[in-house]
Structure 1
Amino acid sequence: MPGMIRLRAGVYAEPSPFDKRPARPHVTGGFEVFVFRYWEDWSVTASFDLARRYTNVGLSVGFWR
């Protein structure tokens, strides 16, 4: 399956909106998988962003570029 999956990962610090409070670290990541070719190259993508008291996940269908 070489060339059919893309992995992504990262971290960042979200500054606090309040004075004298520490930044909130986030862990992010996801993957994109080539699904099939029909006029265009289609893919399915999943992603996440996690932090203390915060979770965001995503799923999408799009074009493989």
Structure 2
Amino acid sequence: MKIKTVCAWCGAFISETNCLETKNFQALAKDEVMVSHGLCPTCRQAIEIKYGLNKKKGGNENV
């Protein structure tokens, strides 16, 4: 089974990986591919700029 990751904002392709089939994968997949969402670098940067999120204030930058 494959999991394809696309940008939740613009729909750009991010990655595709193989993974183990689960009990319910056929109900969740379309044409043997499950889709997950993330943010592409371009959209992430736009969001950081718009909301001022890229300013270093300490702590974990992945939060």
> More strand by proportion, 1 or 2?
1
Both proteins in one fold, TM over 0.5: no
> More helix by proportion, 1 or 2?
2
Higher relative contact order (CA 8 A, sep 6+): 2
TM-score (norm 1): 0.24
Max Rg structure: 1
TM-score (norm 2): 0.24
